Structure 1
Amino acid sequence: MRETISLNDSNWFVGAVAPQKFPAPNDFSRVEGWIPATVPGDIRLDLFAINKIPDPFLGKNNEASQWVDEYDWWYRRELARSKFDPRNSSEQVRAFLIFDGIDYQSAIYWNELELGKHVGMFSRQVYEIPREKILETNRLAVRVSGGKQLPRVKLNAPEKIWRRVASRVIPHAPQASEFPERYATLKCQMSFGWDFAPRLLTCGIWDGARIVQTREIFIRDLWVQGVPDGRVRVRLDLDARNACDARVRFEVRGKNFETDAQTFEIPFRIEKRGAQAFSIQLENPHLWNPWDRGEPNVYILRATISDANGELDSLETTFGLRTIELEQNPRSSADAAPWTFVVNGLPEFIRGANWVPAEAIPARVTRADYAALLQMARDANINLLRVWGGGLKEKRAFYELCDELGILVWQEFPFAGAGIDYFPRDQEFLRLARQESRAIVRTLRNHPSVALWCGGNEFIPRVNQHIINLLRDAVAMEDGTRPFKPASPSQNESHNWRIWHGLANTRDYENDDALFFGEFGLQGAPNVETLARFLSDDALALPNAEWDYHNAERRKLWRYAEPILNQRGIQEISLEQFVQASQEAQLRGLQIAIEHARRNKPRVSGCAFWQFNEPWYSICWSVVDYSRAPKLAYAKIKELYNPVLVSFAFPRRVRKAGEILSGKIWLVNDTLHEQRGTLSARHNGEQVVKLNISIAPNDARVLQGLEVMLESGENFLRFEFQNEKLVSTNEYDLNYCDTGEIDLRRAVLASAAGWLRTSL
């Protein structure tokens, strides 16, 4: 008889109080000036809605909202007794208050009763509301500490000395300074400021909220594990007032495919609190697959518990039938780490992208927002998204949509950018890390799209072994069905920042000998129309200081755009021309890296470019900007990530008209089927090759050599592979040649950092 009262609405109010150290006393009566609020929401969103702050994403307006961190905040709303189940006079009926996420330190009050205090952005809060405390009119209030009250890192004397020395000696971005304050919290690390995001310390009830009513039994959690032969294990986490005999009914049906419903009824004994496990066997099982391997079939399972007097409680979840493993890459060394993703027994080459939060204020993200971005990812032939460790455990809709679209998810825990130091080691922090990591796993483990747990982003596993052990234990205890990687990068994986941060030539991508390419990319300025949305009129010129506030790295933007501008003889450079050159440089860099990875399969098992999206109006590495306008690289990714790719490998150096360019034509087939058809190549529209070819499933091979004489002016080489239809295309600007060279000091530091992260 489960009844749910949604608290996701605009019937809330919010008000400020003076900051106090958490946990703070109940100072609800001191709030003045209540304003309307929305849940899910954020304090800044509510203030912006009534024009108390300007839009923090435009210009430098974010500075005008930093005062929000100086206060603590109260949410409140009223609930009439009539909102509750009409049978609420019965002592058999129970009511539970549930928050899916409050950011970051909170205390919950029902009328004057404190239900509990909590620290952590990602763990769910569940409180039973005593029936005798439900009055004719009830006040639900939530106290949330502001950014000023976030925990601080506690350093010993050697750590303080190291921070002072290292900050003067080691060049780094602000978010990578030694022992920054963000280490002390497990909220979204990006909110403290990153090289593509502002410092914007979010605060509020950022995810869903509701009240659930049941009879004597409450199903706290429903965990479903399914494998391809149709065997399904179901575990119910139950909260009962008394031990009793009952029966459970499982109804299983397809969510995104047609199938007859299957039901199973099992009698069992309920104890007062604990887990109960059951096994069922599905007939005619439909497997979940990544989209390029088959259908991503998602099941719905509904569990209903009853006794002689009827239904006690019920809960519904989704799941899939599949297995996921990591195996050693073919042709890799005997001691190499396993990097080949194997789904349902079949190897899957990863054509991936790095996903960052879709909003710097994540409360604002809706299912429709996720749907639009994820469909763009799917349309670009992306089969995996790495949910970066400086971001979030995203909202439920993100994972549901990845399940239905057949996009694999590499999920990281909220640890990021520790450089060469380490996260806190005190017991209070480790308790928090254990709480949050276990909660993340419990929340996401039913989603078949989640393929890998990873400890986080860019830290040294050995000096953070206290965190790695804790996370590995959390994964083993709460899941145990997916691989775990200690960090990214880890052994035999690269984050190749010699290009861009080291200013290296883009041809350097072809020297990367990692087994998996986890990060690589170049900034590309967004379209002029997008720039006009967030920059002042004065800043709508070539890169300037206002660009810097929105994350532009001007020296590097010029470094990679100039070869294209010079190649075209452009001297009086307009904003439009700079943007075009910047985006083309991003496109060509990604093309070199991705094709190098794909030509080297199966020794290389995948790549994930940095980055797919962005959380605010940024001048960064994204291929889709905040307004969802694609950059030139987005369309190129569609070609480069086609499961069937034609690639042309040739030496990258400056050439003149009349020279012969020699290279090799490759065909890459990531599908499970042999590909037969006709391959043609045209140089400036004139056909230079036409071949009837075939390639085995899951293969990459050289077809033949090709020589092209360069002409004066443009030199575009276009390939097409087709059978009954056009299967794949690819195009090269043979005039493009990056003429820049690496900054040796930066390159040495980048290489040293990479070695430390992957070798220790």
Structure 2
Amino acid sequence: MTLTPLIRRPITDGWTLQATAGPVPDALRTQVIDVPVPAEVPGCVHTDLLAAGLIPDPYLDDNEALLAWIGRVDWTYRTTFSWGPDGHQRHDLVFDGLDTVARVEVNGRTVAETANQHRSCRIPLDQAGLLREGENDLVVHFTAPVPYANAQSVALGARPRPYPLPYEAIRKSACNFGWDWGIATFTSGIWREVRLESWSTARLAEVRTHAAPDGEGGRVAATVHIERADAARTATDDLRVRLRVDEAETVVSMPAGDDDVTVQVQLDQVERWWPAGYGEPHLYQVAVDLLEAEETVDTAERRVGFRTVKWDTAPDAAGTPFTLVVNDQPVFVKGANWIPDDALPVRVDRARYERRLRQALEANLNLIRVWGGGIYESDDFYDLCDELGLLTWQDFLFACAAYPEEEPLRSEIEAEARENIVRLASHASLVLLTGNNENLWGYEDWDWKRRLDGRTWGAYYYYDLFPRLISELASHVPYAPGSPFSPGGQHPNAEEHGSMHLWEQWNRQDWLTYREHRPRFVAEFGWQGPPAWTTLRRSVSDDPLTPESPGMIVHQKAMEGNVKLAAGLVPHLRVPDDMETWHWAMQLNQAIAVRTALEHFRSWAPHTMGAIVWQLNDCWPVTSWAAIDGDERPKPLFHALRRAFAPRTVSFQPRDGGLAAIVTNDTGEEWSGTLHVRRLTFGGDVRAAESLGYAVAARGTATLALPSELAQTDAANAEFLIADAGDVRGTWFFTEARDSALPPAEFDLEVSPAEGGSAVTVTATSLVRDLTFLVDKVDPAAHAEEGLITLLPGERTTVRIRHEGPLDAAQLAAPRVARTLNELVSP
């Protein structure tokens, strides 16, 4: 007899959407209540209403407020699907993601009720008379998330959180309710794939794979749990599991009466998986086949990488390190935090993930931290990180709030954690699972203990449930109870121990005070800046546009954000009067703030062994901490990351009352040579010079103390230091730019055709600081590959500009396009 393998039939066609209860605006009642709206699945209410032309873009002006009603309305999705007898015993309706509180009906009967965006749902449809030959009706009713969360908050008891709506009372993306960089969308919808799965005898219910290097070779283990179509046949089925890794394979029989088995393949020689900057991310194809007799009835495929990973937290004389070690090689983490790339996450496909992650590589990042207030990203995200060598740090989805430990959340959270540990643990890129974002810190410092008044706050999840599940399901994956976290039981945000978050600089202090800290690892810090000018003008139509005009305030979510922007600028640069220069000043100050911090943190390696910037990306057009804005355009901060995270850098840092040149080498080879240090006037005249020999070990740092004739000056407002090690340069200005005698920037431009755009040759005729081409003002699709360029009088450099349409020197030299720090000095 020929057996038919498991059949997966996506249910994507014929979906419609209707509002069923709640405050639908009168003008839309006929269109969304009386008449079905065509719906796309996967999708959400917002994308369907947008496609039908029934709502304005929520990302423009103040449309967010106009569309808040969507989250207070119940919605219903409907379709039909065909089915006929196919010889299989079992037929399961599978939802990979329902957002969020849903009731599922098949042919008029309720078959499931769910309330968790972060897990899948499998519904057997084998009850008598439920699945019928021919057309079957499928209906999914969604309860409005805002009133549901409010009701759950009352039932479970109020908990401390930083925002008004109780996102901690519902298993839904926290930032979906709004954040200090994010729009509140309150989505509902079938946001991941839905399908009918038909099968017989058994299926692969859970497959856990782990690749471990062993000398020159390696071992792949697959632990398989099966579900049987007929539980009474546990001892009679002729079931086997085959594990294939490249050309090697092993086959084992399922134990009689058991639904679990582990199978292993040993390879004599393998290539290690390495993170970006440390080697190639070699991957191996793995297939797990469930066999009945000689026929394959189900298959699961994975890609694995052979590497070891641990975090060194052994106490030392300075406290407790937090050092990532991959393949026995300590790794300086050059990271950025990741939020959902769109506030309507269904719009993010593999191509968009790849664009963003390749930008991360271009910025010299080697790690992405998936923040706990968002989502567990799709398989495409983690697959791409595996391919690109981008390490991933995944938070469990708990952020900045006390979370109830009672039912129904308790069981939902366990099921959600179990599913996502299994789904993610095979990825070579995954190097850390973390219990939460800032909740341990909040419990200690944010007055939670008094306000909780004895209520639970999530400790059970972070200290008991998650480590227990990881030990059971993926013991090879490191775990930390939170971020920040001190491994020795000290205050969770202790500078000397483990990971820490640094937010006092943005909130209350100047960014120069980053230099007052020597953390072991920085998991969050950052500075705000507006999006690219084209992105800003697309999303805000204020006339006149000012820093405080209504649309600008809507697109600034941080508490007193503009006040902090101005307060952070004034110590360093003049506050401009015109809007475009204000925009440039705030973008530049953001870039300099983060560059200053990163150069400082790197200078202390190996005491400090990582810095994760907040944040890489945006989810809509907004003034935020992101390096890439909501329209996918890099900001000047992107160039700051690229330069500060370069494999080899030179910077000047205060040391022991003087100055030192810090030479950092994050490559696998020794770097030696001569560092040429000069003290120059702004006109380029040499006041002092010294040549210092250096030899920096692979992955090492060298500190070169500067003699007083270099480190001291009587003309602080008109002189600076420059250090050159081959083509690597560092600079130091003795006083703030606003207090200096920096002249206007003068330079000439020549533009010539180049592959993918143009090559712009810049020749400076004065000292030019932080020259950056805001080319989106000329061509919205254009992007300059270099920015924040400092040139001495007479120096020349070439910048490649990616673009499709024509660009000429006059356009690029326009004062609103070619911007410098120089113009922000004179009052």
Q: 1:605 aligns with which of 597, 606, 609?
A: 609
Equivalent residue runs for 1:137-286 within 5 Å: 137-152=135-150, 176-177=162-163, 180-229=165-214, 230-241=218-229, 242-243=233-234, 244-253=237-246, 261-269=247-255, 271=257, 274-286=259-271
Deviation at 1:605, TM superposition (A): 1.5
In structure 2, what is the equivalent of residue 13 of structure 1? 16
* Equivalent residue pairs, number: 681
Deviation at 1:697, TM superposition (A): 1.8
- 8 Å CA contact 2:546–2:552 kept in 1: the answer is no
Equivalent residue runs for 1:480-491 within 5 Å: 480-491=475-486
Equivalent residue runs for 1:437-448 within 5 Å: 437-448=417-428
- SS of alignment partner, residue 538 of structure 1: coil
Equivalent residue runs for 1:342-361 within 5 Å: 342-361=325-344
**1: distance between equivalents of 2:386 and 2:434?**
19
**1: distance between equivalents of 2:299 and 2:381?**
24
- SS of alignment partner, residue 439 of structure 2: coil
CA-to-aligned-CA distance 1:54-108 (integer Å, 9 cap, x gap): 00011111112112123211212222237xxxxx432x45333222211111222
In structure 2, what is the equivalent of residue 673 of structure 1? 669
- 8 Å CA contact 1:9–1:40 kept in 2: the answer is yes
The one-letter code of the counterpart of 2:262 is: A
Q: Does 1:476 align with 2:471?
A: yes
**2: distance between equivalents of 1:674 and 1:80?**
65
Task: Please report the TM-score for the alignment, with normalisation by the length of structure 1.
Answer: 0.83
Deviation at 1:732, TM superposition (A): 5.0
- 8 Å CA contact 2:11–2:196 kept in 1: the answer is no
**2: distance between equivalents of 1:489 and 1:598?**
19
**2: distance between equivalents of 1:731 and 1:99?**
56
**Against the structure 1 CA distance between its residues 738 and 200, is the aligned structure 2 distance closer, same or farther, given a 3 Å change threshold?**
farther
Deviation at 1:158, TM superposition (A): 14
Equivalent residue runs for 1:313-352 within 5 Å: 313-328=298-313, 331-333=316-318, 336-352=319-335
In structure 2, what is the equivalent of residue 389 of structure 1? 372
- 8 Å CA contact 1:81–1:134 kept in 2: the answer is yes
**Against the structure 1 CA distance between its residues 157 and 531, is the aligned structure 2 distance closer, same or farther, given a 3 Å change threshold?**
closer
Q: Which runs of 5+ in 1 are unaligned?
A: 21-29, 83-87, 164-174, 254-260, 653-660, 740-760
**1: distance between equivalents of 2:412 and 2:100?**
12
In structure 1, what is the equivalent of residue 702 of structure 2? 701
- SS of alignment partner, residue 330 of structure 2: strand
**1: distance between equivalents of 2:676 and 2:314?**
32
Identity of aligned residues (%): 28
**2: distance between equivalents of 1:651 and 1:157?**
56
**2: distance between equivalents of 1:345 and 1:205?**
43
The one-letter code of the counterpart of 1:486 is: P
Q: 1:521 aligns with which of 519, 526, 531?
A: 526
The one-letter code of the counterpart of 1:736 is: E
- SS of alignment partner, residue 259 of structure 2: strand
Deviation at 1:276, TM superposition (A): 1.5
**1: distance between equivalents of 2:156 and 2:99?**
32
**1: distance between equivalents of 2:736 and 2:12?**
53
- 8 Å CA contact 2:652–2:731 kept in 1: the answer is no
The one-letter code of the counterpart of 1:432 is: E
Equivalent residue runs for 1:369-380 within 5 Å: 369-380=352-363
The one-letter code of the counterpart of 2:140 is: V
Deviation at 1:266, TM superposition (A): 2.8
Deviation at 1:49, TM superposition (A): 0.8
Task: Please report the TM-score for the alignment, with normalisation by the length of structure 2.
Answer: 0.77
The one-letter code of the counterpart of 2:427 is: H
Equivalent residue runs for 1:493-504 within 5 Å: 493-502=499-508, 504=509
**Against the structure 1 CA distance between its residues 329 and 579, is the aligned structure 2 distance closer, same or farther, given a 3 Å change threshold?**
farther
In structure 2, what is the equivalent of residue 736 of structure 1? 736
**2: distance between equivalents of 1:424 and 1:668?**
46
CA-to-aligned-CA distance 1:373-431 (integer Å, 9 cap, x gap): 1100111111111111111111111111111111111111111112xxx3213232222
- SS of alignment partner, residue 361 of structure 2: helix
The one-letter code of the counterpart of 1:383 is: N
Deviation at 1:712, TM superposition (A): 9.0
In structure 2, what is the equivalent of residue 172 of structure 1? none
**Against the structure 1 CA distance between its residues 4 and 729, is the aligned structure 2 distance closer, same or farther, given a 3 Å change threshold?**
farther
**2: distance between equivalents of 1:227 and 1:158?**
43
- SS of alignment partner, residue 197 of structure 1: coil
**Against the structure 1 CA distance between its residues 679 and 712, is the aligned structure 2 distance closer, same or farther, given a 3 Å change threshold?**
closer
Q: 2:645 aligns with which of 641, 647, 652?
A: 641
In structure 2, what is the equivalent of residue 111 of structure 1? 107
In structure 2, what is the equivalent of residue 465 of structure 1? 459
**1: distance between equivalents of 2:279 and 2:594?**
27
The one-letter code of the counterpart of 1:499 is: Q
In structure 2, what is the equivalent of residue 656 of structure 1? none
- 8 Å CA contact 2:203–2:290 kept in 1: the answer is no
In structure 1, what is the equivalent of residue 48 of structure 2? 46
**1: distance between equivalents of 2:517 and 2:670?**
29
**Against the structure 1 CA distance between its residues 81 and 471, is the aligned structure 2 distance closer, same or farther, given a 3 Å change threshold?**
same
**Against the structure 1 CA distance between its residues 423 and 651, is the aligned structure 2 distance closer, same or farther, given a 3 Å change threshold?**
same
- SS of alignment partner, residue 504 of structure 2: coil
In structure 1, what is the equivalent of residue 285 of structure 2? 300
- Say which is worse superposed, 113-122 or 359-368, in terms of deviation: 113-122
**2: distance between equivalents of 1:539 and 1:190?**
31
- 8 Å CA contact 1:542–1:574 kept in 2: the answer is no
Greater relative contact order (Cα < 8 A, sep 6+): 1
Q: Which runs of 5+ in 2 are unaligned?
A: 24-31, 444-456, 487-496, 740-827
**2: distance between equivalents of 1:276 and 1:591?**
51
